[in-house]
Every structure is written in C-alpha cells, then in structure tokens.
C-alpha cells in the first residue's frame, strides 16, 4: 500500500450518503482515485454493509469502505439534516442511493443543495431513476438485472434464470454514476456549475446488453439463455481437461486456424462448417464437442502451453487462491495487502484503473466504527468543538 500518493482526484471533496452497495461502491471508486470521501452513516448502527459478507469476519466492508472517513448524522432529524447541508456547502460531489423522494423529504433535494452550493455535483442512484412511472418503486441491483435484460439470458436454457455471483447491477450503476461525476467535473470546469447525475440500476444493466434490443427490433430475435456460450460466437467456452477446466476464446478466423494447428487438426479451419465466423456459429455445439474431446486428453498445463505457443486467447478459471498465487497478478499488484487493526492485514483487489502519472491508491483502511472521524471531519470542515458535538449527540443527531 503506497501511503501518501495523492491520486488524480486529490482535492476533490465527496460526501457519500448512500448505503449498501451502489452508493458506497461509487464512493470507493472516487476515493481510490484520490478524492477525500466523507461517508455519512446512521448513528450507532452504521451502514448495513458492515454486516454483509461470508464467514465469521465481515470483510466486504474493508473493501467498499476503504479510502473513506466516517461521520454519523441522523438524516431523520433536522439537526442531522443541517449537518449534511453544512458539509455539502463546499463539497464537490454528493452521492446518494435512497428511494426517490427521500432526499426531498429531508430537505436535501438538488434545488435546495444548489442554492447552498451551485458547484455541487449530485449523483443519484436508484432502481428506476428519478423520473417515470416506476420512479417511486423500491429497487435493488437484482431487480435492475432482471428488468435490464441480464437475468433472462443468464443460466441454462432448461432452468430458471441465474445470477452472476456478484452484485453486478449495483456495481454497474455505481460505475456509471462515477463516470457521470467525472464528466460533470469537466463540464463544471467550463461552466462553473454542478449538475445532477441520474443513474438507474435497470438502465445501467441495459447499457451493457450489446445488441439485444436492436436484434429484436430489426429481426424479431429474442435472446434466450444458452448456458456458458454466446450464441453464434464460436469457439468461446470453458472446456473440460483431464484435471480441470480451461477457457478458450478462438472465435476469430485467424485465431481459430491457430487453434486447429495447436490441436493437430489443421483441416478444421478449412472445413466449410468451421471456416468462417458465421459457419462456426451455426455449428457451435458440434465444434465445442470436437474441442472438448481434445482438451479432455490433456492436462490444463498442457493445454495452456499449447495456447501460449500458438497465441490463442485462453486462460484458467480462477478462484481466490489461484489469484493470490499467480505471478502476473503479483507483478501488476492487482491484489494488495491493506493493514488492518484486527486482522493484521487484508488482501483485496487494488485500486483500478492504473494511471501513469497520478496513481490511484488505498490510502486509508475502512472506518472501524460509525462516526470514527466525527471530531476530525466536523472540526475540520464545520469548526465544531467537542462541546457542540456532545450536544448534537445528546439530541440524537450524530
């Protein structure tokens, strides 16, 4: 961990009001790039993410809470709402992912906040967006994945829709929210004014659905579930080997010719059934069968050696232990070890993407308890002393 590196967003002040995944992941991305992220948590209980994750130790929080300072503010009481308004008076970006209408109820709506701070960029993440007939509905990432088209095409065709093993709807919306905030910073540099970024979970998923809508509009094609393949993109699959599984992606004509050479079956690339992209897609199942009949005779190591020799895109199917043992991950510092007061250290994915001049870093561990930085942040930003903080605590504001 490179303590002290500033990052591309050094000097940018972010106030994160969101909870669970979408809002906090947006804050994590901005924090990794150097922004000073102040996370506002409910008093005592904090963000529910502190309790999420697998196993005895809930270390998901250590990832999504990194590079943040925690303060508490009860947004359901006027004193807590005023604290947040005061924090936002000189902030650059605010992130929230509450149900639409909630911020308005608290007196934290964009119109009010822009009166206080016209330069403020407001990132609003919600299930269905801030407008439209569904805007007031509650929404989680999984619902966005379903309505955005993802769930319907993931899984085996003879089974109900599956989910990806991570909260992709939430993190996509967070990433689009972050991207919008960065673009708004550039716009503000020209106009001097902030704006609202409206990132809906379902639309964030919709953005990565490739030609799904266009295929239906032009040809009436409704994309369905096809298990581990993309229909018409062949060969591109995970193939069983003698001692494991291996991913091969050789769907380009020249690449497939090299794969055929590696398999010792060069005639496959000249066979009319497999010679072109369209033909391979039409004979996808039988082609996958030919390839797997070959991979089953070899170990993963042997297949990988051939894929490297013949320059065929391919890779192992990794789990966490594989990532931690891989020399490429280590060389690029894709995983880093973050000091931790309880666990000694926690290994996690490093800040990303990589910058050549202003590298993103993990500069501080996740706050260990809600309001850990109340005195620091409220003193620094709002000039509140210990006596004032005690009074705010007494009325349930922090």
CATH at residue 21: 3.40.50.10540
Asked whether 144 and 97 are in contact (CB, 8 A), the reply is: no
> Mean pLDDT over residues 106-123, rounded?
98
**Percent of all residues in the chain with a pLDDT value above 90, rounded to a whole number:** 97
> Mean pLDDT over residues 42-46, rounded?
96
Task: Give the pLDDT score at 42.
Answer: 97
Name the residue range of residue 125's domain. Answer: 13-208+333-394
Q: Domain total for the chain?
A: 2
> Mean pLDDT over residues 373-396, rounded?
97
> Mean pLDDT over residues 48-65, rounded?
96
Residues 6+ apart with CB under 8 A from 359: 2, 5, 7, 351
Asked whether 393 and 378 are in contact (CB, 8 A), the reply is: no
Residue 62 lies in a domain: yes
Residue 226 lies in a domain: no
3 pLDDT above the threshold of 60? no
Do residues 96 and 145 both lie within one domain?
A: yes
Do residues 43 and 189 both lie within one domain?
A: yes
> Mean pLDDT over residues 166-170, rounded?
95
Residue 222 lies in a domain: no
> Mean pLDDT over residues 379-383, rounded?
97
170 among known catalytic residues: yes
Do residues 274 and 348 both lie within one domain?
A: no
Q: Which of 286, 285, 314 is nearest to 300 (CA)?
A: 314
Asked whether 47 and 343 are in contact (CB, 8 A), the reply is: no
145 pLDDT above the threshold of 50? yes
The radius of gyration of the chain's CA atoms, rounded to the nearest angstrom, is 25
Do residues 303 and 203 both lie within one domain?
A: no
Do residues 338 and 307 both lie within one domain?
A: no
Domain end call among 283, 298, 321 = 321
Residue 2 lies in a domain: no
Label residue 4 by pLDDT band (50, 70, 90). very low
Domain end call among 321, 352, 381 = 321
**pLDDT digit string, tens, across residues 265-313:** 999 999 999 999 999 999 999 999 999 999 999 999 999 999 999 999 9
CA angle centred on 217, ends 215 and 223, rounded to 5°: 40
Do residues 179 and 309 both lie within one domain?
A: no
Task: Give the pLDDT score at 353.
Answer: 96
Residue 219 lies in a domain: no
Q: Strand (E) positions, the chain? A: 13-16, 36-41, 68-72, 93-96, 121-126, 196-200, 236-241, 244-249, 314-316, 335-340, 344-349
Do residues 70 and 153 both lie within one domain?
A: yes
Label residue 1 by pLDDT band (50, 70, 90). very low
What 3-state class would DSSP assign to 236? Answer: strand
Task: Give the pLDDT score at 260.
Answer: 98
Task: Give the pLDDT score at 257.
Answer: 98
> Mean pLDDT over residues 66-82, rounded?
98
Among 124-133, 160-169, 301-310, 328-337, the least confident range: 160-169
Task: Give the pLDDT score at 6.
Answer: 83
Label residue 372 by pLDDT band (50, 70, 90). very high
Residue 8 lies in a domain: no
191 pLDDT above the threshold of 70? yes
Task: Give the pLDDT score at 5.
Answer: 60
Residues 6+ apart with CB under 8 A from 91: 13, 14, 15, 117, 120
Do residues 21 and 103 both lie within one domain?
A: yes
CATH number of the domain encompassing residue 311: 3.30.1540.10
Do residues 143 and 96 both lie within one domain?
A: yes
> Mean pLDDT over residues 127-140, rounded?
96
Write down the catalytic residue from 170, 243, 288, 322.
170
Label residue 188 by pLDDT band (50, 70, 90). very high
Distance CA 226, CA 110 (A): 44
**Whole-model pTM above 0.75?**
yes
Residue 214 lies in a domain: no
Do residues 151 and 265 both lie within one domain?
A: no
Residue 220 lies in a domain: no
Do residues 344 and 281 both lie within one domain?
A: no
Domain end call among 295, 321, 347 = 321
Task: Give the pLDDT score at 2.
Answer: 45
Do residues 276 and 152 both lie within one domain?
A: no
320 pLDDT above the threshold of 80? yes
Label residue 74 by pLDDT band (50, 70, 90). very high
Task: Give the pLDDT score at 136.
Answer: 95
Residues 6+ apart with CB under 8 A from 38: 13, 14, 15, 16, 68, 69, 70, 71, 87, 373, 377, 381
């Amino acid at each position: 961990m490179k303590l002290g590196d500033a990052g591309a967003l050094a000097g940018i002040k972010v106030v994160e009001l969101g909870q669970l995944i979408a809002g906090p992941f947006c804050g994590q991305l901005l924090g990794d790039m150097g922004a000073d992220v102040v996370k506002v948590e409910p008093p005592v209980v904090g963000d529910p993410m502190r309790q999420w994750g697998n196993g005895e130790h809930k270390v998901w929080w250590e990832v999504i809470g990194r590079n943040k300072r925690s303060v508490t503010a009860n947004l359901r009481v006027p004193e807590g709402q005023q604290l947040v308004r005061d924090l936002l008076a000189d902030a650059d970006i605010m992130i929230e992912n509450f149900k639409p209408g909630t911020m308005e109820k608290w007196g934290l709506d964009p119109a009010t906040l822009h009166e206080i701070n016209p330069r403020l960029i407001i990132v609003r993440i919600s299930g269905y967006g801030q407008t439209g007939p569904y805007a007031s509905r509650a929404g989680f990432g999984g619902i966005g994945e379903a309505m955005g088209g993802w769930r319907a095409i993931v899984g085996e065709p003879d089974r109900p829709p599956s989910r990806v093993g991570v909260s992709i709807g939430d993190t996509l919306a967070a990433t689009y929210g972050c991207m919008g905030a960065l673009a708004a910073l550039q716009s503000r540099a020209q106009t001097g004014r902030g704006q609202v970024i409206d990132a809906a979970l379902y639309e964030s998923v919709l953005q990565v659905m490739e030609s799904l809508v266009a295929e239906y509009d032009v040809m009436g094609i409704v994309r369905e579930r096809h298990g581990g393949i993309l229909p018409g993109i062949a060969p591109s699959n995970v193939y069983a080997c003698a001692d494991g599984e291996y991913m091969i992606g050789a769907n380009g004509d020249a690449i497939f010719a090299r794969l055929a050479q590696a398999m010792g079956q060069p005639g496959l690339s000249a066979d009319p059934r497999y010679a072109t992209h369209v033909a391979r897609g039409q004979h996808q199942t039988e082609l996958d069968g030919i390839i797997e009949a070959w991979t089953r005779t070899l170990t993963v190591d042997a297949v990988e050696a051939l894929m490297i020799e013949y320059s065929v895109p391919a890779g192992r199917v990794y789990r966490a232990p594989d990532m931690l043992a891989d020399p490429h991950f280590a060389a690029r510092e894709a995983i880093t070890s973050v000091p931790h007061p309880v666990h000694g250290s926690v290994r996690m994915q490093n800040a990303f993407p990589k910058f050549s001049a202003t590298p993103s870093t993990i500069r501080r561990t996740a706050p260990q308890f809600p309001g850990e930085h109340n005195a620091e942040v409220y003193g620094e930003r709002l000039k509140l002393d210990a006596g004032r903080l005690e009074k705010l605590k007494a009325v349930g504001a922090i």
